[in-house]
Structure 1
Amino acid sequence: MLRHDEGAEVTPATYERMAEFAREGRLNGTLVELGGLQPSAAGALVSLAGGRITAVDGPFTEAKELVGGYAIFDVRSRVEAVELGRRLMQIHLDTVPGWEGAVELRALQE
């Protein structure tokens, strides 16, 4: 999951590099799914607290960083997953001046 400040501008170069990253993953058979998410203003947050379920429309201004995209890879090891995360961060470092964020790596529950 790619977490970042929602106000960050993504450049055309970022999209180009991400497309290359995805093509490579499809060719070597590791990429299962990849996608970006629309801004939180187009979403809602449904939560459970104190025995009550509430729904609030976005944007979620109280959150510092939000999940802005995701990728599912079929890799053999944690080391391989971390390397893919580093490559994803490098794309943003190279193409979006001042961009800050994180890639959260999680295994799917089997």
Structure 2
Amino acid sequence: MEATQGDAATVSAEEAQRTIIRRWSWTVAVGLPLIATIVGIALTNTGTIEQWNSLGDDMYDIVMLAVWPAGLVLLSVGLLGLIATALTAAVLTTRRSS
């Protein structure tokens, strides 16, 4: 009887560990594309940013940097990641008919 209780405890600990890893991986799989999408929207909306370089004597050289291309890349990568996560969730949760 003792051996079966120990085995049950081991199986339950392994199940708990698998559940934690599964939840963490789904959080990362949804979180990273969501963050990339939000940053992509922000950068695309911003368009350009200014970089001020001091030349001394209260003079500055202003350089305009285009950030919208990076925003488009992050936006598309984020959306593709969200679509891939949704497809994976749909495949994993579909029950097979026997």
The answer to whether TM tops 0.5 is no
TM tier, smaller: under 0.3
Greater helix fraction, Structure 1 or Structure 2: 2
Q: Which has the higher contact order (CA 8 A, sep 6+)?
A: 1
Work out which of the two has the higher radius of gyration on C-alpha atoms and give 1 or 2. 2
Greater strand fraction, Structure 1 or Structure 2: 1
Q: Give the TM-score normalised by the residue count of structure 1.
A: 0.24
